[in-house]
Structure 1
Amino acid sequence: MTKLSVNINKVATLRNSRGGIVPNVVQVAIDCERFGADGITIHPRPDERHITRQDVYDLRPIIKTEFNIEGFPSREFVDMVISVKPHQVTLVPDTIEQLTSNAGWDTKKHCDFLSEILDEFKAVGIRTSIFVSTEKEAIEYAAKAGADRVELYTEPYALKYVKNPERAVQPFVDAAKLTRSLGMGLNAGHDLDLNNLNYLYNNIPWLDEVSIGHALISNALYLGLEKTIQEYKKCLSE
């Protein structure tokens, strides 16, 4: 079964726009799990524009499903993740000023760097995932670096899906098959929504996990959080 991990960054963004604790990210995480989410994803950034360091430590003891922390592996990030010990860490190549993750790693160029970081996480029992494109070399070098999983960057799929779903999904199917042949697990994320998620799932039913934030939280404004999570779960079961 493909798990649904809800990224709650947008909740923190809304909170930070006014200061204070409303909406409360801890309570939202609890509610997401209660409504059927299989995990919670956060992406703390150095400028703390959404998830803060304090959020990371506040969330860890209350999450009962799976906790996934995304981020660029700066020394500060690595030390924080090791101290918190989430179930999974997802490494992204974001610069400090990036608005959102918009590319996968050049895993060949950064193979040695990634391998050293992955070893640190593995030493304390944290499952590792690397954010990559569908390029064959990117996936192969993720395996060489020692990643437990890769997370496919799905914005290209989402953009092309509207005009030609079959053509949009094919590179991801090929990448998923390669990932499986190399013995790694498979995650996916970025711009997945209620329109395109089910088609991706039907073509790659062995996906381990999808991480969805922006679209899911936006849908919740209209449908409510509980109904929205149920609708996303349906996309991963039909």
Structure 2
Amino acid sequence: MTTTLITGANKGLGKETAKQLIAAGHTVYLGARDEAKGRAAAQDVGGRFVQIDVTDDASVRAAAATIESEGGLDVLINNAGMEPRLAGNAIPTPADTTVDEMRETFETNAFSMVRTIGAFLPQLQHSTEAVIVNLASGLATLSGLSDPESFTHFYPAVSYPASKATVNVITIQYAKAFPGIRINSVEPGFTNTDLNGRTGTQTVEEGAAIIVKMAQVRPDGPTGTFVSAQGVLPW
């Protein structure tokens, strides 16, 4: 039985990914900061709840200890994330960007992955089917952001794409350092979730599909890649 943890899983892509992986036979821990929401989501999809705030060292260590005591982890899906929005759901421009915004965004989207991977690494290294899936974004592709013909070129904000580009660096470097673990970044697509103020154009079922696929990569499968439902993406 494959045991999987999904962070930020009480709603949106995290919850839908849990639902699909449970249907595929995984034992899934739905990680969430809010206990009531997390437990409700876990009950709804038939998973297990574990409390975890990915921005807090003690919380992540406690979640790791809980899962280890119950048998250990095979698959870690770093799904928790945030996208800053201004009043009226407006996307901030470079003129709106502050150091505090950058710090908060990086803490949630990038630094948390280092924290969470570090806490669960000993368990993953004991698994024969260890996988890490890091949620990135099409906005992490620098060639796209800089190309006027790209669909991502319009996006004005600084902190979100910068944090997701950092996620891709984390993926590359950890994949090189730990060849026994399949470690990949995924771009789920522009999904209709609370993260983007419900502006996405695809369903959570569609967005979760690539996450679910990469969570089930076999030990001889790809590692150190950045993929979407359409295939491998440029860094």
| Interval containing the TM-score (normalised by the shorter chain) | 0.3 to 0.5
What is the TM-score normalised by the length of structure 2?
A: 0.38
What is the TM-score normalised by the length of structure 1?
A: 0.38
